Amino acid sequence: MQITISGHHVDITQAIRNYVTTKLSKLERHYEQITSTSVILTVEKLRQKVEATVHVSGGELFAVAEHPDMYTAIDALSDKLDRQIIKYKEKQRGH
């Protein structure tokens, strides 16, 4: 899986890059056919916003998470994408 990380009004440190990579690499445990993931980290005053688009075979999944702490926002985003991938996998299995 290819992960692209970009930032708006925030410097992407190596610690944040590693944290995002480890959190999103866990998504492959549920569904192996993830082709690429693009993550955008944004800082707006006191809000930390994380957006991610996951490209899977036959579709695209999108999630947004906001929190005053960047790491907590990344955790929330990972949980949202985890639930979406499980739901998408169940839909594919049903067809």
The pLDDT tens digits of the residues spanning 39-76 come to 999 999 889 999 999 999 888 999 999 999 999 999 99
Q: Is the pTM of this model over 0.95?
A: no
What is residue 49's predicted lDDT score, i.e. its pLDDT?
A: 95
Distance CA 11, CA 2 (A): 20
Q: What single letter denotes the amino acid at residue 32?
A: E
**pLDDT exceeding 70 applies to what percent of the chain?**
99
- What's the domain range around 40? 2-94
CATH number at 33 reads: 3.30.160.100
What is residue 30's predicted lDDT score, i.e. its pLDDT?
A: 82
Distance CA 58, CA 69 (A): 33
What is residue 91's predicted lDDT score, i.e. its pLDDT?
A: 87
Number of domains in the chain: 1
What is residue 81's predicted lDDT score, i.e. its pLDDT?
A: 94
What is the strand order of the sheet 47-56 is part of? 2-8, 34-44, 47-56, 59-67
